[in-house]
Structure 1
Amino acid sequence: MERKIACITGATSGIGWATALHLAKEDYAILACGRRKDRLEELSTKLSPEIPFRYLVFDVRDQEQVISAFDSLPVEWQPIEVLVNNAGNAHGLDTIDQGDVEDWDAMVDINVKGLLYVSRKIIPGMVDRKSGQIINIGSIAGKEVYAKGSVYCASKYAVDALTKGMRIDLNPHGIKVMGIHPGAVETEFSLVRFKGDTERASGVYQGFDPLTADDVAEIIAFAVTRPKHVVMADVLLLPLAQGSATVFNRNSE
């Protein structure tokens, strides 16, 4: 493999999809991961034919699927230089006394355990090579808690803590570890949170210009293309209209 390999989880839509496109422009070979095979196949058609592309279909919640998927890679696709842990979700918006336990399990399993399962498969190779970059996609919800979001916030606080812990553990091996924490980004995120309620989901972004997936992907590409000695350790990325997790200057479009 002549190009360095970038592995992106949650690449079937939103930030992951956009990140694959941006890193391809930076001449990375793209290893795209997700649950929807049709979307990954579609993603391949958006890239230049000159960019090596491969996809893996698995659910990050299932450790056996994660192990099997990465073990299936040909030797030339195994030295992953960049890992973007993007797969994540939010389910429901309820007070803690009314929360759905299945929603809680989904958020902890995907946002925390899924990140760990994928990282555990890829990081040892980085350690052996003394080279690599990891970007964990967090959220403003990992910086401040808001009402009816306690479990989602807890899962993203965990991502923030894991990012900091990874940076310490991997420091002796010359591996960069970075956290990028977006605020309001208009993707499928709210549609998933509200379980397909398009009207409720669209209302989240009414009255202001939210971030786009491209905005976040551009920052990710910038972060991984910095000089070797530069680490963008912790980035909180907000639209202009957002002052905090819950403060928005609506009707500012």
Structure 2
Amino acid sequence: MSHQKLPTVFITGATSGFGQAAARKFGQAGYQLVLTGRRIERLNALADELSPRCEVHVAQLDVRDATQVSNVVDILPEQFQNVEVLVNNAGLALGASPADQASLDDWHTMIDTNVTGLVNVTHALIPLLLAQPKASIINLASIASNWCYPGAHVYGASKAFVAQFSRNLRSDFAGTGVRVTSLEPGLSESEFSLVRFNGDQDKYNQIYDNTNPLQPEDIADIMFWIAEQPSHININSLEVMPTSQAWDNFKVVKRK
């Protein structure tokens, strides 16, 4: 790889899971990193780990707060303003109960994070992305964008927004250097699921037992591949599952 300084990757939710793995993948390739998340101590630890290989800027950020997002982007050091890759990773699922047993607060939190937060960050960074000869927005959607399952209710709907927003952005940016991808993972093992089950380790273990699920590093490898495509190529959407996962028959409920 050239010794020329590489552009900047801006990652939300870099404190764990896909975001943390993406930071390591891009950082090991020498990209400059802007790492954001709510847990500053984790960001600092990750920056310490990666700083021998690349330049790192950290910013504590709650993507749900539009003013906070704007402030973080506005005060980026000049060195980190050449944002070529935006990884919109911050997101969460809360609960897996049927809709009639779900918490309205959980629903609002998922919408505020998965939809409003992604919109806040994307809007703030569009001017920097458009200023680059080539740029990529990689939005973390889910197979729940496309496929329904019990207990997905607002989570699945929020990820369907991510997928459709990605397509609409792509339409707006046709002819520019900005590419947009909806990346849609299936069964993946990370802290994401512990959050969904409110820290219940037994439920977490039951989900992943003997499934050989996707790992954060798998998704980070795919993100890197997307960003490294030649400038004339746009990966519109990419759905990926472990080989242990596939589609099943539609549910039919018989009533007596």
TM-score normalised to the size of structure 1? 0.93
Deviates more, 1:171-180 or 1:124-133: 124-133
Q: Deviations over 1:170-206 (max 9, x none)?
A: 1132211111110011001111001111111221111
Partner of 1:208 in structure 2? Answer: 211
Write the distance in 2 (CA, Å) between the matches of 1:244 and 1:33: 35
Q: Deviations over 1:139-171 (max 9, x none)?
A: 011111111111100000000000101110111
Structure 1 residues 192, 156: CA separation in 2 closer, same or farther (over 3 Å shift)? same
Write the distance in 1 (CA, Å) between the matches of 2:248 and 2:241: 9
Partner of 2:116 in structure 1? Answer: 113
Q: How far off is 1:27 after superposition?
A: 2.1
**Matched-pair contact (CA < 8 Å) for 1:59–1:65:** yes
Write the distance in 2 (CA, Å) between the matches of 1:229 and 1:5: 20
Partner of 1:199 in structure 2? Answer: 202
Tell me if 1:12 matches 2:15.
yes
**Matched-pair contact (CA < 8 Å) for 2:28–2:53:** no
Partner of 2:102 in structure 1? Answer: 99
**Matched-pair contact (CA < 8 Å) for 2:142–2:186:** yes
**Matched-pair contact (CA < 8 Å) for 1:12–1:34:** yes
223, 226, 231: which is aligned to 1:223?
A: 226
Tell me if 1:124 matches 2:127.
yes
Tell me if 1:162 matches 2:170.
no
Q: Which stretches in structure 2 are left out of the alignment for 5+ residues?
A: 251-256
29, 44, 49: which is aligned to 2:47?
A: 44
**Matched-pair contact (CA < 8 Å) for 1:146–1:245:** no
Deviates more, 1:180-189 or 1:200-209: 200-209
Q: How far off is 1:128 after superposition?
A: 3.7
Write the distance in 1 (CA, Å) between the matches of 2:52 and 2:133: 30
Amino acid at match of 2:21: A
Structure 1 residues 230, 12: CA separation in 2 closer, same or farther (over 3 Å shift)? same
Q: Deviations over 1:101-120 (max 9, x none)?
A: 10001110110110000001
**Matched-pair contact (CA < 8 Å) for 1:111–1:155:** yes
Write the distance in 1 (CA, Å) between the matches of 2:132 and 2:26: 21
TM-score normalised to the size of structure 2? 0.92
Tell me if 1:62 matches 2:60.
no
- CA RMSD between the two structures: 1.7
Write the distance in 2 (CA, Å) between the matches of 1:59 and 1:44: 18
Write the distance in 2 (CA, Å) between the matches of 1:194 and 1:245: 24
Partner of 1:251 in structure 2? Answer: none
Amino acid at match of 2:91: G
Moved over 6 A (4+): none
Structure 1 residues 50, 241: CA separation in 2 closer, same or farther (over 3 Å shift)? closer
**Matched-pair contact (CA < 8 Å) for 1:26–1:221:** no
Partner of 2:147 in structure 1? Answer: 144
Q: How far off is 1:129 after superposition?
A: 3.9
Q: Which stretches in structure 1 are left out of the alignment for 5+ residues?
A: 248-253
Partner of 1:84 in structure 2? Answer: 87
Write the distance in 2 (CA, Å) between the matches of 1:6 and 1:245: 37
Percent of residue pairs identical: 37
Q: Deviations over 1:197-249 (max 9, x none)?
A: 111122111121001000110111111111111222211111010003899xx
Write the distance in 1 (CA, Å) between the matches of 2:81 and 2:249: 42
Amino acid at match of 1:66: V
**Matched-pair contact (CA < 8 Å) for 2:30–2:53:** no
Q: How does 1:25-40 map to 2 (within 5 A)?
A: 25-40=28-43
Q: How far off is 1:130 after superposition?
A: 5.1
Write the distance in 2 (CA, Å) between the matches of 1:12 and 1:243: 30
Write the distance in 1 (CA, Å) between the matches of 2:28 and 2:181: 21
Deviates more, 1:52-61 or 1:67-76: 67-76
Q: Deviations over 1:18-48 (max 9, x none)?
A: 0011111222101111001110011112225
